[in-house]
Structure 1
Amino acid sequence: MDERAREHAEVLVGWSARIEAGDDVIVDVAEDAHDLGVAVAEELGAVGANIVSTYGSDELSRAYLKAHDGAFEAGDHALALLENADAYLRLGGGRNTTATADVESETRQAYSKAHSEVREARMDTDWVSTVHPTRSLAQQAGMAYDEYQDFVYDAVLRDWGMLSERMANVKERLDEGSEVRIVTERDDHPRTDVTMSVEGRTAVNSAASVAYDSHNLPSGEVFTAPYDTEGEVFFDVPMTINAKRVRNVRLTFDDGEVVGFAAEQGEDALETVLNTDEGARRLGELGLGMNRGIDRVTDNILFDEKMGDTVHLAVGRAYDANLPEGEEGNQSAVHVDLITDVSEESFIEIDGDVIQRDGTFWFEDDFEA
C-alpha cells in the first residue's frame, strides 16, 4: 500500500470527520478504493470507533436501476442505518466513471426523489466525501496514473489550518455583504454578468473538516447560499453530469430562477437536472475556489470546484450551514455544481467593492483594484 493512503486516512478520520472513540461510522467504499478503505478501517480501529462498511459501486447501481420498474421506495433499513450513525465516510474511486451513462433520466429523477429522506439523514451525520486515486479517474483527468496519484495527494495532504486562516478573510466579507456580482468579459466566450443576494446568509470556510461545516476532502473553498439571482453566466469548465460530458453551459436567471439554458455538449443532461423539481432551477450555492494545490481541471467536481481562480454556482439544494436557524432555503433533490474560470478579464464584487480581479484576492500579492 502507498504510505500516502495511510496519511490520507489519518487526515480523513482525525481532521476531517473528527471521529472519536465509540462513534458509529458508516464507510461506503467504491470498487477500486480498497486500499484507502483498509487504511480507514485501521485508523477507525485505532481510534476505537464502531464500523459498518458498505459497497458503493456505480456498476451495481446501474444494474439495479436498469432492472427496476421505476416505482422506487426508500427502504426503512437504509434510513435506520443512517439515523443511527454518527458519521458517514464516502470513499470514491470506481472502475468506470461513466458506468451509469445509459440509465434513463426519468429513472434517475424517480430514484432521487424517492430517496430524499435517506439523503437528508445522511447529511445530518458528520459526513465526509473523498476519493482514492484510481486508474479510471486518472484516465478521466487525462493523466498518467503515477502523475494522478501525486496530484490527488498534493490536494489532500495540505496544511489545512493555514489555508483556513486565508479563507477566513473571504468568509468575513461574504458574511458582512448583501450583494455579489460576478463579471467576465473575455473575447473567446459569452459575457458573464450575474448578481445575487447573500444578505442574512452565513458563508462556510470549507477547510476539509466537519468542524468548519465542511464535508469534502480535499476542500479549499468558501461557499454560501445565494438567492434573488439575476443575469447571465457562462460556465467554461467542462464536467461530467450523471455520467455524461457537459461543456460550455449558459444559464439565464430572472427573479432567482433559470429561465433559459444551453450547452454546447450534454444539453440533455443539463435539462434533466433542471427539470428534476422546482428547486432545481434556483441556486443553492455560490462557491469561490481557493485551493492553489489544485492546478488543473480533472473532470472530477470534488477537485475542480476547489481550484483557485474559479467560481462555481450550484443549482438545487442549499446547505443548512449557510442558512439562518429555522429557514429552509432552496429545496431540491439535486445539487449540481457548474464552474467558470475567473483567472482573466474577470472581477468579483461585494456591494460594489472588488474583492477579486483576474483570480487574485484583495489580500494577495499583485492584486489590482
Structure 2
Amino acid sequence: MDERIREHAETLVDWSARVEAGDDVVVRVAEGAHDLAVAVAEVLGERGATVVTTYDSAEVSRAYLRAYGEDSISSDDGPDFETPAHELALYERADVVLSLGGGRNTFATADVPGETRQAAARATQPVREARLATDWVSTVHPTRSLAQQAGMSVEAYRDFVYDAILRDWESLAEEMGQLKEILDAGSKVRLVSENTDLRLSIEGRIAVNSAASVAYDSHNLPSGEVFTAPFDTEGQVSFDVPMTISGARVRDVHLQFEDGRVVDYSAAAGEETLGDILDTDEGARRLGELGIGMNRGIDRVTDNILFDEKMGDTVHLALGRAYDACLPEGESGNDSAVHVDLITDVSERSRLEVDGEVIQRNGRFRWETGFES
C-alpha cells in the first residue's frame, strides 16, 4: 500500500476530525475508497473510537432512485419519498462522520430525473442536517475514475491529490487567518471581472478559516479556503470553471441577481440541470456561501468540487444552504435542501473588494508578492 494512504488517514483522523477515544464514528465508504477505508479503520482502532461503516455508492443510489421514482406515488414535485428515520437515528447518535469519496463512475446518476433528485434531497434534508451537526469531514481517495475525469494518468493524479492533502496545515491556517479578519470586519463585498459585477452583504457574518479541521469549523480534506454567508446579493456573475453537478456537465453559467435571488440564468452546457437545482426550493435561488480559494497546492482544475473550489486564483459561490458556522448565534441564514458550488477564475482582469478596498487583484492578495494596488 502507498505509504501516503496511511498519512492521509492519520491527517483525516487526527488533524481534521480530532477523533478521541470513545467517539462514535460513522465512516461512509465509496466504491473505490476501500484502501483508504482500511487505513482509516486501522487508525480509528488505534485511537480507541467506536466505528460503524456504511457503503456510500452512487451506483446503488441510482438504482434505488430510478426504481422508486418509477413505482411510487408522484406529484408535480416528484416522487413521494419518506425521510429514512433509521438513517436519521444513526447520525443523531454519531460524534464524527467521515465521508471517503472515490466512486467508479462520476456520472453514475446522470440519468436520474431532476425532479426525483430534488424530491429525494427534500426528504433526506433532516438526515443531512443531523450529519452536519456532527464533527464531519469529507475527503477523497484518488481513484481511476477521478483521474480520468481530471484528464490525468493515475500516477499523476495520485501525486496531485496528496500534494493537496498532505500540507503544512498550521502555516496555511495562519495565512488564511489574514483574510478571515478582513471579512469578519467587513460589510460589503464586490466581485468584478469579465461579465461579472456582483455586490454582496456580509455584515455581521462570521468567516470560516477552512484549514481542513473541525477545530477551525472546517470540514473538507483537502481544504484551503475562507468562506462566509452572504446576503442581499445584487448584480451579475459568470462562472467559467466547468464542473460536473448531479452527474451532468455544467459549463459557462451566468446568473442575474435582484433583491437577493436569482431572477435569470443561462449555461452553455447543463442549463436544464441548473434549472432543476434552482427550482428545488425558494432557498435554492439565493446564495449560501462566498468562498475564496487559497490552497496553492491545487494548481489545476480536475472537475472535482472538493479540490477545485479550494484552488488559488478562484472564487466560488454556492446556491442554497448557508453554513451555521458563518452565522451569529440565534440568526438563521439561507435555508435549502441543496448547497451547490459554482466557480470562477479570478487570475486575470479581476478584483475583489471589501468595503471599497481591493484585497485581491488578478488572484494575488494584498500581502502576497506581485499584488498590484
TM-score of Structure 1 vs Structure 2, range by shorter chain: over 0.9
Q: Deviations over 1:297-337 (max 9, x none)?
A: 00000000000000000000000000010111000000000
1:105 to 97, 114, 126: 114
What is the DSSP-based 3-state SS (H/G/I as helix, E as strand, rest coil) of the residue aligned with 1:292?
coil
Superposed counterparts of 1:181-192, under 5 Å: 181-185=190-194, 191-192=195-196
- CA displacement at 1:257 relative to structure 2: 0.5
1:23 paired with 2:23, answer yes
1:80 to 83, 89, 92: 89
Match of 1:201?
205
Q: Distance in 1 between matches of 2:286 and 2:156?
A: 38
- CA displacement at 1:366 relative to structure 2: 1.4
- CA displacement at 1:128 relative to structure 2: 0.2
Superposed counterparts of 1:1-369, under 5 Å: 1-68=1-68, 69=72, 70-185=79-194, 191-369=195-373
Q: Distance in 2 between matches of 1:99 and 1:195?
A: 37
Query: What letter corresponds to residue 154 of structure 2 in structure 1?
Result: Y
TM score, norm. by length of structure 1: 0.98
Q: Distance in 2 between matches of 1:220 and 1:208?
A: 7
- CA displacement at 1:168 relative to structure 2: 0.3
- CA displacement at 1:213 relative to structure 2: 0.3
Q: Distance in 2 between matches of 1:324 and 1:57?
A: 36
Q: Distance in 1 between matches of 2:14 and 2:88?
A: 26
RMSD over equivalenced CA pairs, Å: 0.5
Q: Distance in 1 between matches of 2:83 and 2:199?
A: 38
Q: Deviations over 1:21-51 (max 9, x none)?
A: 0000000000010000000000000000000
Q: Distance in 1 between matches of 2:118 and 2:60?
A: 18
Q: Distance in 2 between matches of 1:178 and 1:54?
A: 43
- CA displacement at 1:220 relative to structure 2: 0.1
Q: Distance in 2 between matches of 1:177 and 1:284?
A: 17
What is the DSSP-based 3-state SS (H/G/I as helix, E as strand, rest coil) of the residue aligned with 2:254?
strand
Match of 1:188?
none
TM score, norm. by length of structure 2: 0.97
Q: Deviations over 1:263-309 (max 9, x none)?
A: 00000010000000000000000000000000000000000000000
What is the DSSP-based 3-state SS (H/G/I as helix, E as strand, rest coil) of the residue aligned with 1:306?
coil
What is the DSSP-based 3-state SS (H/G/I as helix, E as strand, rest coil) of the residue aligned with 2:38?
helix
Q: Distance in 1 between matches of 2:307 and 2:129?
A: 23
What is the DSSP-based 3-state SS (H/G/I as helix, E as strand, rest coil) of the residue aligned with 2:170?
helix
Q: Distance in 1 between matches of 2:319 and 2:63?
A: 28
Q: Distance in 2 between matches of 1:76 and 1:111?
A: 14
Runs (4+) of structure 1 exceeding 3 A deviation are none
- List gaps (5 residues or longer) in structure 1: 186-190
- CA displacement at 1:76 relative to structure 2: 1.5
What is the DSSP-based 3-state SS (H/G/I as helix, E as strand, rest coil) of the residue aligned with 1:262?
strand
Q: Distance in 2 between matches of 1:263 and 1:131?
A: 28
- CA displacement at 1:211 relative to structure 2: 0.3
Q: Distance in 2 between matches of 1:116 and 1:301?
A: 21
What is the DSSP-based 3-state SS (H/G/I as helix, E as strand, rest coil) of the residue aligned with 1:7?
helix
- CA displacement at 1:71 relative to structure 2: 1.8
How many residue pairs align between the two structures?
364
Q: Distance in 2 between matches of 1:275 and 1:251?
A: 14
Q: Percent identity?
A: 71
